[in-house]
Amino acid sequence: MTTISVAGAEIDTRHYIGGQRVSSAETFTNTSPIDGTFLGEISRGGQSEADAAVAAARAAFPAWAALGPQGRGVLLHKLADLIEENNETLSQLETMDNGSLLRSHRRGVMPRVAMNIRFFADWAINELHHEKFETRGHTNNVSWDPSGVAVLITPWNAPLMLATWKIGPALAAGDTVVLKPAEWTPLSASFFADLTKQAGIPDGVFNVVQGYGKEIGSALVAHPDINRISFTGSVPTAKVIARAAADNLTPCSFELGGKSPMIVLEDADLDLAAEIAVEQYDNAGQVCLSGTRIFVHENIADEFAKKFGEKASAIKQGDPRDENTDIGPQIHQVHFDRVKGFVDRAKAEGQEIVWGGEPNDELGGLFFKPTLVKNPTEGSEIVTSEIFGPVLCMMTFKTDEEVIERANGTEFGLAAVVVSGNQEHAKKITDVLVAGTIWVNCFFVRDLRAPFGGSKKSGIGRDGGTWSFDFYADVKNTVVSPNGWKE
Ligand code: NAD
């Protein structure tokens, strides 16, 4: 069987290389995290499939680059149209494969996936220019040239959303692409490949290979004939990729993990703060940006905890296909065990678990209850490590100086949330927080024009607007003298 049927569509389980479906002798098994349903045997690529995909992308590069932003934009807009037309199939597929909410895929995620493609296509056409400037009568002309073959490696927590943050700017910049999705969520990328074909994107411009990170992933990132590596995933994997990329000096963009602070100041609207705090359980806590360390001023801590408790106890955990469900399962048994391990060790250390702290036995399978750890010991692993599950820590603080020091006291710097009724007070805090994105009195507002990425170990580089093109393109300055050289 090389296809599986989901929501009335046939999804291919093979690689997509040079516009053709290619199978591997070996496969790996893909199951749904919702109930363990067998989804399919997926082609398990290695060195030869990596070589074939890079060769196909290399061969397609000159013509794709020569098409220019306008020519590419027509095809990319057609692709975005097809994503919108196939919203239902993509939504059901993603929910089956990674267990996140069907309603948010239908209403939020898949429309954003289409927007990721449109936005960068238009940005390449309309916004990629620099004021020409003069140097003693010579004109500096800055341009963003296609750079070659971009290898994109993505995680499982928001498969197509995160992949298209990379695919959009890479293709719009004129690069050709080899995408390797995470092995726990291979399906939406495969269906997406079919849409690129229908959109008329030439064979070889976009390729998808399936398999394990240590096999085909490491073959791709060590490949001498690639020009960019864009990776979203964990810090340990990023270190392995950086070492492999070093041999060829391949430029890397890294979007990595976090252990973000959420700070509730004494002057905060506590209903708003509680609402934002329970949002941190979104996607069963499998969100890199989550504010998992909640710092609350000691004078309002009891009232905040009461409001938080009311909202948290109303969270409905269940089948992500159900309209009323708020959070679903963990992605995979391996990940479930990892999350449970953190909580079990916290319990063994005597940390105070206020909510949850155990699997949801009523639902069984991979469902872990939303969990809150109160005032955990400073420096304990539940406070310092990224858990990537529905586990929040709540701590109190006395002064601004103290909370700033504790919030910044982490190896990560991805995001932060500040809740305050006083803009000046909030600014005093945000001015000195170290994070790629900070939200004040809100959460998860993401404009594609804005830079997105992490400080410290949360990443290297920024996505969004021209920042994306600075990475995927070769930025060039051509200095022209109109009347001979006048030094
Ligand atoms: P992971 O690092 O285990 O895997 C990510 C991808 O890398 C997968 O496709 C995997 O197959 C591949 N990979 C693994 N080893 C490889 C190797 N040696 N060479 C090449 N590729 C390899 O991460 P994960 O568990 O899939 O995702 C969770 C992590 O991703 C968390 O740390 C989370 O914070 C992070 N994340 C970050 C962002 C962000 O935007 N900053 C967004 C989502 C997730």
Ligand 1 contact, 211 CB (< 6 A): no
Ligand 1 binding pocket mutation candidate from 209, 234, 255, 333 (most atoms within 8 A of CB): 234
The string of DSSP letters for 208-263 reads E--S-IIIIIHHHHT-TT--EEEEES-HHHHHHHHHHHHTTT--EEEE-----EEE
Residue 285's pLDDT band, with cuts at 50, 70 and 90, is very high
Query: Tell me, what's the pLDDT at 324?
Result: 97
Tens digit of each residue's pLDDT (9 = 90 or more) over 254-268: 999 999 999 999 999
What token pair was written down for 115?
């927007």
Are 291 and 417 in contact by the 8 Å Cβ rule? The answer is yes
Kindly list the distances between the CA atom of residue 97 and the CA atoms of 82, 91, 157, 346, in Å, as whole numbers in the listed order: 21, 10, 10, 30
Residue 484's pLDDT band, with cuts at 50, 70 and 90, is confident
Ligand 1 contact, 182 CB (< 6 A): yes
Query: Tell me, what's the pLDDT at 137?
Result: 86
pLDDT exceeds 90 at position 323: yes
**pLDDT, mean over the chain:** 97
What token pair was written down for 296?
């609350």
Query: Tell me, what's the pLDDT at 59?
Result: 98
Query: Tell me, what's the pLDDT at 32?
Result: 96
Query: Which residue, 314, 317, 313, 347, is CA-closest to 330?
Result: 317
Question: What percent of the chain is modeled with pLDDT above 70?
Answer: 100
Give catalytic residues, as residue numbers: 255, 288
Ligand 1 binding pocket mutation candidate from 28, 160, 166, 288 (most atoms within 8 A of CB): 288
Helices 301-313 & 270-279 angle (0-180, nearest 10): 50
339-352 mean pLDDT: 97
Ligand 1 contact, 258 CB (< 6 A): yes
Residue nearest to atom 9 of ligand 1 (CA): 182
**C-alpha angle 282-410-421 in degrees, rounded to nearest 5:** 60
Query: Tell me, what's the pLDDT at 486?
Result: 64
pLDDT exceeds 80 at position 7: no
455-482 mean pLDDT: 96
Query: Tell me, what's the pLDDT at 487?
Result: 63
425-430 mean pLDDT: 98
Query: Tell me, what's the pLDDT at 1?
Result: 78
Query: Tell me, what's the pLDDT at 404?
Result: 98
Residues 6+ apart with CB under 8 A from 237: 213, 231
Residue nearest to atom 42 of ligand 1 (CA): 288
Query: Tell me, what's the pLDDT at 400?
Result: 98
Cα-to-centroid distance, 433 and ligand 1 (Å): 25
116-125 mean pLDDT: 98
pTM given for the model? 0.97
pLDDT exceeds 80 at position 131: no
The count of residues in the chain is 487
Tens digit of each residue's pLDDT (9 = 90 or more) over 288-312: 999 999 999 999 999 999 999 999 9
Ligand 1 contact, 221 CB (< 6 A): yes
Residue 483's pLDDT band, with cuts at 50, 70 and 90, is confident
Sign of CA dihedral 255, 256, 262, 263: negative
pLDDT exceeds 80 at position 485: no
Tens digit of each residue's pLDDT (9 = 90 or more) over 384-393: 999 999 999 9
pLDDT exceeds 90 at position 96: yes
Tens digit of each residue's pLDDT (9 = 90 or more) over 163-216: 999 999 999 999 999 999 999 999 999 999 999 999 999 999 999 999 999 999
Tens digit of each residue's pLDDT (9 = 90 or more) over 43-62: 999 999 999 999 999 999 99
Identify each DSSP E strand in 240-389 by its residue range. 252-255, 261-264, 293-297, 352-355, 371-374
Tens digit of each residue's pLDDT (9 = 90 or more) over 386-418: 999 999 999 999 999 999 999 999 999 999 999
